[in-house]
Structure 1
C-alpha cells in the first residue's frame, strides 16, 4: 500500500486497515516459523504498510 492510498482513508478506515494488517502480519510470521514462505518479502511489505498506517493515524 502506497502513502498516496493511505491519505485517502478516513480515521475509522485507517484503524480498520491497521487492525487487518497487524492480523495478517502476525499470521505471516507464524506461518514463516513453521515452514518458510515462498516470498518472505511479504513480511517486510506488511511491516512497512503498518508503519505508514500508524503514521497517518498520528498525523490526523
Structure 2
C-alpha cells in the first residue's frame, strides 16, 4: 500500500488499531501501578505516551 494513495478509510484502519494498542498497553502496563499511584498520575503518563507516539508517527511513516 502506498502512502500517496491513502484514503480516509485506510487511515481509519491504521488509527483505530493504534488507539486500541495504546489502551491495551495502558491497561496492562498501568494496572500494576494502580495500587501505588493515583488515577490522575496514571492518566498523565498515558496521555504523555500517546502524545509521543502521535508525534513520532510521521517519522515512522517516512521510514517506510
Common fold, TM-score beyond 0.5? no
Normalised by the size of structure 2, how large is the TM-score? 0.41
Normalised by the size of structure 1, how large is the TM-score? 0.43
Larger radius of gyration: 2
Greater RCO (Cα-Cα under 8 Å, separation 6 or more): 1
